[in-house]
A and B are shown apart, each in its own frame.
With several copies, the nearest count.
Chain A
């Protein structure tokens, strides 16, 4: 609902930054973050709103950030693609694909080095698995037996590019990760309950010191790669495929199972929370250019 609100408001052109929405992929974020403690950290990439919120991020600070306001979680400097909120245990989201992965591994390294029981979850897409840096990161995490969960949301596309032109069909992404000797599992990324079970299982073994885990979750992005609209008309994927996944709506899945029923009062409550957040964002001041012009470097050490 939050992202639908963003999608609805985006055409007003008040959120002046690129947005990559997770509509259709919510179950992965929710299920995976469910088992994280507040001292744990989450890290993400370009498509990070759902991860930020699921990790306990502030809806107000997220919207203010999209609106480019000083009350945003990076004070307007980062926008949708560069988020951080240490108070929510959300270390960072950055949009160069693959690039935030070793940073998450570093945070896990530092947790282990300092003897904390912190654990780090890093979210990546299927496309990110084609970047060398993710492989280097997997190897590093395994060699150092680090407390990190790699969660790959496989939504079948990298922008508009289908799997065929990017990865071989005769192995799965979990297989690929397994080559590194990391424990892997895979599941239905549209089933928040299944995801939570898989993630909890992973967290248990990670917390037991058994090293990193890789989790592949199959899911699907409903809207366009970047922006608020549907884009089934432009021809890179079939309507059949879309309908199939649409039918497998993560929220309906839970509702059908009776686990969660979206009561009218809930909906209303959420809507009002969103409304408040949007108001908050809109009424927040823009950052002051004068304060940004500070020299980038800290004062010299002595």
Chain B
């Protein structure tokens, strides 16, 4: 029970177990069986389950999304894997017009049990076309489920749930989470696809984190605690449907809401959260909910510019304390030799 796996290994185990349990599951995507195995998440699967069930594809993301839909509509449970969400825009038509709509427009006569895994890049100069985080685009489309697990534990449980789900599930995985370990049971467990999780209780303000930003929120909560402020941290996990009630009930306790999205603020997931919370908990709010996330321009490549692009824990703590009417000066986390375009080494579970 105390076994540790990292995020990539956890996903691999979910795929491995699903492939073993259900002959209808197939895994396909560019590089799935290659020596790198999509950052380790598909390593060894082809050897274990054969080239018919774990396969590479041509550089045709659009058609292969349709192929997966054809498989799903005729009884299989395909898992499509993309090394960057940016690449999957080529398949956006299939996802939005077809995958999301078949079950509805065909009057529930068939379901579309497929999973589309997309990795979100960050750092090391991946720049404008390899590090977008486009969950908001999928979050707007009825018929899709959209998840962004943060911990290795949730990654495994939600992946198993996604594969078993009869709805299409889009799963966005942040690259910087891959090496982070957490307690991951060996059993085939399921984490619900539509529930946020309180990762740290607090009383003064609710911080909602999306994916990697949940870890930054936890670090910010530490800083706030040192300053005597108590932040509750919610790991959103489900982007569509949103678990509004979990957030609302947290805000009913703390009266303050700061969302830290891993994506553009404008027109993003954080806007929907604000709107939903305002609709349901207006009278509980002491101050206006605020949002942090990516600024309103594409990701620049040079580390000199990219360092400035992402919210950092001390900035989150600062904003939270301002919402509480305080003004402390929080110091950036000590990163030793590490530059900001690499993941923070200290983030390790269990969470």
Contact = CB atoms under 8 A, between A and B. Distances in A.
In the complex, A touching B (Cβ < 8 A): yes
Interface of A: 16-18, 41, 68-69, 72, 74-82, 84, 86, 91-92, 94-111, 113-114, 127-128, 130-133, 136-137, 139-140, 143, 158-161, 165-167, 234-236, 286-287, 289, 292-293, 295-298, 300-302
A80 B125 CA distance: 9
A97 to B, nearest CB: 6
Contacts of A113: 26, 52-53, 71, 76
A114 B52 CA distance: 10
A92 B232 CA distance: 47
Contacts of B341: 16
27 contacts: A17-B125, A18-B130, A68-B303, A74-B301, A76-B301, A76-B305, A81-B301, A84-B106, A86-B110, A91-B70, A92-B102, A96-B90, A99-B66, A103-B98, A106-B66, A106-B69, A106-B71, A111-B74, A113-B52, A130-B58, A133-B90, A165-B57, A289-B304, A292-B300, A293-B295, A293-B297, A301-B166
B137 to A, nearest CB: 16
A72 B104 CA distance: 14
B216 to A, nearest CB: 19
A83 to B, nearest CB: 9
Nearest to B75: A110
B63 A81 contact: no
Nearest to A84: B106
Nearest to A113: B52
Q: Which of B66, B72, B93, B104 has the most CB of A within 10 A?
A: B66
A298 B59 contact: no
A86 B106 CA distance: 10
A295 B66 CA distance: 24
Given A16-B125, A133-B62, A234-B35, A99 B98 contact: yes
Interface in B275-312: 295-298, 300-305, 307-308
B303 A16 contact: yes
A115 B145 CA distance: 31
Given A68-B125, A92-B102, A165 B97 contact: no
Contacts of A41: 74
A95 B302 contact: no
Given A74-B106, A82-B128, A286-B302, A136 B63 contact: yes
Contacts of A77: 104-107, 127-128, 300-302, 305
Nearest to A131: B59
A79 B90 contact: no
A99 B76 CA distance: 20
B129 A102 contact: no
Contacts of B296: 295-296
A143 B64 CA distance: 12
Given A160-B31, A160-B35, 9 more contacts: A17-B126, A75-B107, A82-B106, A95-B130, A133-B93, A136-B64, A137-B66, A159-B31, A160-B34
